[in-house]
Structure 1
Amino acid sequence: MTKLIFMGTPDFSATVLKGLLDDANYDVLAVVTQPDRAVGRKKEIKMTPVKEVALEHNLPVYQPEKMSGSDEMAELMTLGADGIVTAAFGQFLPTKLLDSVDFAVNVHASLLPKYRGGAPIHYAIINGDKEAGVTIMEMVKKMDAGDMIAKASTPITDDDNVGTMFEKLAVIGRDLLLKTLPDYIAGNIKPEPQDESQATFSPNITPEEERIDWNKSARDVFNHIRGLYPWPVAHTLLDGKRFKIYEASLVEGQGKPGQIIEKGKKSLVVATGDGAISLKTVQPAGKPRMSIVDFLNGVGRKLEVGDLIGE
């Protein structure tokens, strides 16, 4: 039985961890995840999804703010693990730690060398990619730059968003890892170096990147909205205040970018630089998330065709 240390944080990682725990070939000695954080308006302290799974299985949990030089890392190195498996952990692993095990592999949610970094699924959707995927790669002390062990892909449809793609890719990543890890450990797979000339990057989304640019095409705005849903959520301005748009759809129409070109009891259509989108789910400043119907029956009643948002 191969003894592992698992490192990960979000639901994507939790799916991979569950797969390892259900496989009799592996003994997960410990789990490493990011520290508990305050979330939401009430700033409630919340455990990571990976920590929740680990505690359900009575596994030791380590949560260093920074792995390098930490007491947690020193203790992990004494456990006698054969290897490390990471999936969306969120920290670099020191060379000293990588050298302490026979192997260290990462489950990364992109088709490397495309989209190295922390937000590969967001960028794939925002950029209008037709497919996304998962790469199993060797860990090195450089962001997502290790040799590739295996890849698998899946289409991105107009019905997809970051949430749906995370769910799909988590299952794909779990299955791909469990399929290839035994052969990799046995030395039957020769990892393939990445082509550095083809590398692109997907850093975490900044607050400035969340804002919608209405001068772009309807397709680009549509991709932007679903590429930030369900987190961190795209926004624009309404009466000078942040107005979040969770969901929208592509529709026919032309007008000045950001202009309301159609308003009905159940619809609000906004023009872009080329085409238009119909808003579906929104959140005005100081209000909860709501359907466009509820918005139009409330604070949105004052809006008229010809009004501009985003200014």
Structure 2
Amino acid sequence: MEKLRIVFMGTPEFASGILDAIVKAHYEVVGVITAPDKPAGRGQKIKYSAVKEYALEHGLHLLQPTNLKNEGFLAELQALDANLQVVVAFRMLPEVVWRMPKLGTFNLHASLLPDYRGAAPINWAIINGETKTGVTTFFIDDQIDTGAMILSRETAIGPSENAGQLHDRLMDIGKDVVIETLKRIESGQASPTIQPNHPDLKTAYKLNRDNCHIDWNQTSQNIFNLIRGLSPYPAAWTFFADGDQEWNVKIYEARMTMEGHHHPAGKVMVTRKNIKVAVAGGFLEITSLQFPGKKRMNAAELLNGMSFSEQIRAF
């Protein structure tokens, strides 16, 4: 059995939760690699990544390279003398980095590989209406999320579960899977299997403004899945138009109601406390949303301060 000396690489909260599990399991973390600091929010104040905050709080050796091929960074990484690297929600590594440690470099991915390789696996599993997903550890190779799989664990997706809720559950599941993966590698019992490839593999494309926009001509189920698959971040969005006024609105939560009607898709109906949008075969009641310049609020809170005509529509 070889004692592990681990370099951990990651950036967001999902990664910091996994790092915490590794530290609490008393593995030796000789270094932490995370993204450089960047300004965020309206004030453009410098924001630390969740992984950096964790590393600073726990006195872990921290590196924040801007270029993973930089000779100075590579020398620092080599000097850490790690025999294993663990990657969670980080960028693509150059070969000189992932090949460096004796025992390899493995990644935790938030899907049941080989499906949903890519940047946003949690979001796309929900957007596509999947009823199950999971996490997978695999050894990194020269392509994205294609390496030999070590361990995976499956979980059901609730019919109304959103991306934030699933994120937190997968992080907890991922902690156990990463610790079990470390045990197998440490004891020499990891038995990686090559990922199968088939023509119908589903991809976790990077999220952008276009694929987060609601198309009200879609089925109510598809729209509902898009909203929960993008909540709370980055959030599905639509335009609301009322006369000569137009707003870019983020939609966080909605409820489906199936009933016949003769309204065009995108027709918005507003009562004192409710906002409903007509879709094929029913309505989507918007229960949590955000107008420009306002905080996120429920429909009743919004309607306390805003009124609309009967001509309002969503598109």
Q: Normalization by structure 2: what TM-score?
A: 0.92
Distance 1:242 1:77 in 2: 49
Report whether the alignment pairs 1:212 with 2:214: yes
Deviation above 3 Å: which 4+ runs of structure 1?
none
The answer (yes or no) to whether the contact 1:33–1:63 under 8 Å persists in 2 is yes
The answer (yes or no) to whether the contact 1:150–1:176 under 8 Å persists in 2 is yes
The equivalent of 1:159 in structure 2 is 160
Structure 2 counterpart of 1:307, from 295, 298, 312: 312
| 1:151-209 alpha-carbon deviations (Å, 9 max, x no partner) | 10111113311111110001101101112321233332311101122543212201111
The equivalent of 1:57 in structure 2 is 58
**Residues 123-202 of structure 1 mapped to structure 2, 5 A cutoff:** 123-197=124-198, 199-202=201-204
User: Counterpart of 2:163 in structure 1: which amino acid?
Assistant: V
How much has 1:298 moved relative to structure 2? 1.8
The answer (yes or no) to whether the contact 2:137–2:152 under 8 Å persists in 1 is yes
| 1:205-246 alpha-carbon deviations (Å, 9 max, x no partner) | 011111100000111111101111111111100133311111
The equivalent of 1:258 in structure 2 is 266
The answer (yes or no) to whether the contact 2:4–2:186 under 8 Å persists in 1 is no
Report whether the alignment pairs 1:37 with 2:38: yes
The equivalent of 2:8 in structure 1 is 6
Distance 1:273 1:98 in 2: 49
- Report sequence identity in percent: 35
The answer (yes or no) to whether the contact 2:11–2:34 under 8 Å persists in 1 is yes
Structure 1 counterpart of 2:233, from 226, 231, 234: 231
Distance 2:58 2:95 in 1: 29
Q: Unaligned stretches of 5+ in structure 2?
A: none
The answer (yes or no) to whether the contact 1:112–1:199 under 8 Å persists in 2 is no
The answer (yes or no) to whether the contact 2:258–2:281 under 8 Å persists in 1 is no
Distance 1:286 1:178 in 2: 44
The answer (yes or no) to whether the contact 1:149–1:184 under 8 Å persists in 2 is no
Report whether the alignment pairs 1:284 with 2:270: no
The answer (yes or no) to whether the contact 2:273–2:303 under 8 Å persists in 1 is yes
Q: Normalization by structure 1: what TM-score?
A: 0.93
Distance 2:120 2:20 in 1: 22
Distance 2:35 2:81 in 1: 22
The equivalent of 2:94 in structure 1 is 94
Distance 1:229 1:66 in 2: 32
Deviates more, 1:46-55 or 1:199-208: 199-208
Give the count of matched residue pairs: 305
The answer (yes or no) to whether the contact 1:133–1:152 under 8 Å persists in 2 is yes
The equivalent of 1:297 in structure 2 is 304
| 1:248-298 alpha-carbon deviations (Å, 9 max, x no partner) | 1112344311112x4322211111233221101111122222211121122
Give the CA RMSD over aligned residues: 1.5
The answer (yes or no) to whether the contact 1:64–1:70 under 8 Å persists in 2 is no
User: Counterpart of 2:98 in structure 1: which amino acid?
Assistant: L
How much has 1:70 moved relative to structure 2? 5.0
Per the alignment, do residues 71 and 200 of structure 1 end up closer, same or farther by CA in structure 2, a change over 3 Å counting? Answer: farther
Q: Unaligned stretches of 5+ in structure 1?
A: none
